[in-house]
Amino acid sequence: MYPNANPNFQPRNPQQQYVQRSLVNQQQQQQKNFQSQQTQQQWLRRNQQQLAASDANVDEVEKTVQSEAVDQSSQDWKARLKIPPADTRYRTEDVTATKGNEFEDYFLKRELLMGIYEKGFERPSPIQEESIPIALTGSDILARAKNGTGKTAAFCIPALEKIDQDINAIQVVILVPTRELALQTSQVCKELGKHLKIEVMVTTGGTSLKDDIMRLYQPVHLLVGTPGRILDLARKGICVLKDCSMLIMDEADKLLSPEFQPSIVQLIRFLPANRQVLMFSATFPVTVKDFKERYLQKPYVINLMDELTLKGITQFYAFVEERQKLHCLNTLFSKLQINQSIIFCNSVNRVELLAKKITELGYSCFYIHAKMLQDHRNRVFHDFRNGACRNLVCTDLFTRGIDIQAVNVVINFDFPKNSETYLHRVGRSGRFGHLGLAVNLITYEDRFNLYRIEQELGTEIKQIPPHIDQAIYCL
């Protein structure tokens, strides 16, 4: 048809041409889409980075706000505390020679810190600095420190810290030798832990066993008491001690005397094998060493007794005949600036007789001894502590751990037979580093005891000066 046509010419298939063009278009479109997606992803990444940076800034701001709020709240909780007025009386280095630690250094619960500060404690005393952090690690402790240097708080604070208030079980037992000391120690625990939901119970001999049994059916976390009564309740299956992880022995030397040691040895059998044992006292005889080797596991030993008597106590003796003692006592009352005094006798009969004579002289006077009914003893102890009376006559019942801050004079109307009793008697004055006075009425028969006690305690008891009111004006 066309003479000049190419004989090899192949006509194009219009459908094939369309398919190829369409493939090219698709590839171009895909490339555009890919580029668009990449652009979008870049934008997304950039936005995410900006958002992350923004979030980081927000987090930083929130953290700053929160930390400021925490700082503010830490300031607020202290500001809201009802702290008693500071005690401005002079204090000796028995309680001031510290490392400078604060109670907050021990990472205690805030509620416990609140109770500590509201109790009037400002900083830990030396025995508290030594024992609190060790007790919190779970180690056994054998601690020796002077009377009146803060031993009670040294074991009450770690005990309260370690109690889990959500577990309904006795977790701490504090053993003491006398009923009065049990009441006093339980009161300290309640005051320190008043912002915690910890149930404290006190139980001693001479009180209603039925009441104690009924109380133990209620939640109890911390039990304070005398060994005989707690052992009795444990044997009856009422006092369950399988979850008790801490046993504290206050006045440990007295608790390990023949009077108490058998009960304590039996009581320990009711405790778990992994219990922690803390022992505190001012004196440690040989019996304590034997007990330590049997029942304590690698105990941490604390000894702050470079000397036995408190630095703030001035000690005098007056050499008198027996019939002159009452007249001498009357002279002391008229000459001394007595806030409150404790007067010791060696027998129950002499306590009651002397209290009667002091009352006849016109001075306010209570008396207390072991043969009195428990309710009467409790009332006398409570009233004397609250300042209802200036003078208290007693037997050695009151030599162990009784802490009454207002007592600044101790009088040994009858001189004690041994140095240990003397040390605990005079330790009732000059509490927590304050100044105190001890006056000893010495008869001819007491002269050898006086010399021996001076030697054993490494202390000096001076003869009373003629003008004692001028010699001790600082009291």
Buried b (16+ CB within 10 A) or exposed e, 414-444: bbbeebbbbbbbbbbbbbbbbbbbbbbbbee
Distance between CA atoms of residues 412 and 424, nearest Å: 12
Distances (CA, A) of 266 to 230, 234, 291, 469: 11, 10, 13, 52
Nearest C-alpha neighbor of 369 from the set 358, 357, 359, 354: 354
Distance between CA atoms of residues 217 and 222, nearest Å: 14
The whole-number pLDDT of residue 231 equals 95
The residue whose two tokens read 């000894």 is 303
Joined tokens for residue 327: 């007249």
277 within 8 A of 410, measured Cβ to Cβ? no
Per-residue pLDDT of the chain (475 residues; tens, 9 = 90+): 444 455 555 555 544 444 445 544 555 556 656 565 666 666 556 656 655 555 555 555 455 545 444 444 555 777 788 787 776 655 555 556 678 888 999 989 999 999 999 988 888 988 899 999 999 999 999 998 876 778 899 999 999 999 999 999 999 999 999 888 899 899 999 999 999 999 999 999 888 899 999 999 999 999 999 999 999 999 999 999 999 999 999 988 889 888 899 999 999 999 999 999 999 987 776 667 788 888 988 899 888 766 555 566 888 999 999 999 999 999 999 888 888 899 999 999 999 999 999 999 999 999 998 888 878 888 888 898 888 899 999 988 776 656 677 788 999 999 998 888 888 888 777 655 567 889 999 999 998 999 999 888 888 889 988 765 444 444 4
Structural domains in the chain? 93-303 (3.40.50.300), 313-471 (3.40.50.300)
Distances (CA, A) of 453 to 297, 418, 439, 456: 34, 7, 14, 5
The whole-number pLDDT of residue 421 equals 85
Distance between CA atoms of residues 394 and 370, nearest Å: 9
Contacts of residue 64, defined as CB under 8 A and 6 or more positions apart, other chains included, come to: none
Nearest C-alpha neighbor of 228 from the set 246, 203, 210: 203
Distance between CA atoms of residues 268 and 315, nearest Å: 40
Q: What are phi and psi of 347, to 5 degrees?
A: -150, 160
Distance between CA atoms of residues 146 and 377, nearest Å: 26
417 within 8 A of 449, measured Cβ to Cβ? yes
Distances (CA, A) of 103 to 128, 229, 269: 9, 34, 34
Cite the DSSP H helix spans in 98-239.
110-118, 126-136, 151-162, 179-192, 209-216, 227-235
The whole-number pLDDT of residue 323 equals 92
The whole-number pLDDT of residue 96 equals 62
Joined tokens for residue 449: 């005891």
Nearest C-alpha neighbor of 207 from the set 368, 373, 348: 373
The whole-number pLDDT of residue 291 equals 86
- CB count within 10 Å of CB 32 equals 10
Distance between CA atoms of residues 130 and 143, nearest Å: 9
